[in-house]
């Protein structure tokens, strides 16, 4: 982990009172695979590289402030945020936002524009050392591929991320052991929005490359995109072969110009967020 010693699971430092520590792994949105150097040994990233985890910057934000102005909002204070060549990241002693939620944003560490600003959000508890976070990064080439295969729906000079896009992959039961779920339609505020959602024709579960504008539900990769989301409605999904007693998680989100807001959605027992599906 960070500091050398290979790519074993990293230790997540205990935070001081009133703060949190956040620890996890960087992943690529298109492939769903870990971002790490081929010869990774856990060495800390010291200066930006051309690609790999050391080409990336990780920052932590109040998600509500970030949604309002992602380019001008300052990150939350922390003792340090480090990334290693295994793609591990550690943020120690982060000040907890008033909302009780955190957003992790990943972008280029240097002056290149090989990656698009990608964010995840999640609740935290004061004093928590949050382990196992999965933060994601979208390549600029992938953003362009999505836009081209979708038929350039926002004009020839604007990509999905330029427009602002929410991306979600539906899993049952979880991303680590479960498979993506076909046949799910993304919802905003409890309703489907066929003019604003997009789905993929990729046949491999971990391929997220080709948007087919004719589709109205998830394919084998379980992924959906939605644009034109304002006012932080609850985003969820309907459909998919998940059983009569299951439903999809629901989470407030928005589409923000210049940002991919990405999440992995799982099932839970209908009417009970604390219970797994049976």
**Domain residue ranges of the chain, discontinuous segments joined by +:** 19-139, 150-269
Instruction: Give the model's pLDDT for residue 64.
Output: 92
Average pLDDT over residues 151-178: 91
Q: How confident is the model at residue 106 (pLDDT cuts 50, 70, 90)?
A: very high
Quick one: pLDDT at residue 176? 67
Average pLDDT for the chain? 94
Each residue of 196-217: pLDDT tens digit?
999 999 999 999 999 999 999 9
pLDDT in tens, 19-77: 999 999 999 999 999 999 999 999 999 999 999 999 999 999 999 999 989 889 999 99
CB 29 within 8 A of CB 167: yes
Return the pLDDT at 97.
85
Q: Given this chain, do its domains 19-139 and 150-269 carry the same CATH topology?
A: yes
Using DSSP bridges, classify how beta strands 197-200 and 223-226 pair: parallel, antiparallel or unpaired.
antiparallel
Q: Among 3.40.50.2000, 2.120.10.30, 2.130.10.10, 2.60.40.2070, what is the CATH number of 19-139?
A: 2.60.40.2070
> pLDDT value at position 25?
98
Residue 270 banded pLDDT, cuts 50, 70, 90 = confident
Q: CA-CA distance, 225 to 145, in Å (whole number)?
A: 14
The residue behind tokens 């870990």 is: 34
| Length of the chain measured in residues | 278
pLDDT band at 9 (very low <50, low <70, confident <90, very high): confident
pTM: 0.94
Whether residue 175 is predicted with pLDDT greater than 60 in this model: the reply is: yes
When pLDDT is cut at 50, 70 and 90, the band that residue 248 belongs to is: very high
Per-residue pLDDT averaged across 254-267, rounded?
95
Distances (CA, A) of 263 to 14, 165, 223, 267: 26, 12, 10, 13
Is residue 220 over pLDDT 90?
yes
pLDDT in the model for residue 191: 98
Burial of 58 (0-12, 13-18, 19+ CB in 10 A): buried
pLDDT attached to residue 167: 99
Q: Phi and psi dihedrals of 146, rounded to 5?
A: -55, -45
Q: So what's the pLDDT on residue 174? A: 67
Token reading at 194:
């066929």
* Topology annotation, domain 150-269: Immunoglobulin-like (2.60.40)
């Amino acid at each position: 982990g960070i500091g050398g010693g290979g790519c074993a699971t990293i230790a997540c430092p205990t935070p001081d009172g009133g703060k949190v520590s956040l620890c996890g792994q960087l992943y690529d949105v298109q492939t769903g695979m870990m971002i790490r150097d081929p010869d990774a040994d856990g060495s800390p990233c010291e200066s930006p590289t051309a690609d790999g985890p050391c080409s990336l910057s990780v920052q932590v934000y109040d998600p509500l402030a970030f949604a309002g102005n992602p380019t001008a909002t300052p990150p939350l204070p922390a003792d340090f945020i480090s990334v290693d060549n295994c793609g591990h990241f550690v943020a120690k002693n982060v000040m907890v936002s008033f909302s009780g939620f955190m957003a992790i944003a990943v972008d280029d560490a240097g002056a290149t524009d090989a990656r698009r600003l990608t964010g995840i959000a999640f609740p935290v508890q004061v004093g928590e050392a949050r382990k196992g976070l999965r933060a994601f990064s979208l390549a600029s080439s992938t953003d362009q591929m999505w836009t081209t295969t979708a038929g350039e729906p926002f004009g020839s000079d604007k990509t999905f991320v330029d427009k602002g896009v929410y991306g979600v992959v539906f899993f049952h039961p979880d991303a680590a052991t479960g498979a993506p779920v076909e046949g799910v339609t993304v919802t905003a505020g409890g309703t489907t929005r066929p003019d604003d959602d997009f789905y993929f024709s990729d046949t491999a579960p971990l391929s997220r490359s080709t948007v087919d504008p004719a589709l109205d539900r998830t394919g084998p990769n379980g992924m959906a995109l939605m644009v034109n989301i304002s006012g932080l409605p609850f985003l969820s999904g309907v459909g998919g072969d998940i059983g009569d007693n299951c439903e999809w998680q629901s989470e407030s989100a928005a589409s923000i110009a210049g940002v991919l807001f990405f999440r992995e959605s799982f099932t839970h027992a209908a009417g009970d967020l604390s219970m797994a599906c049976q």
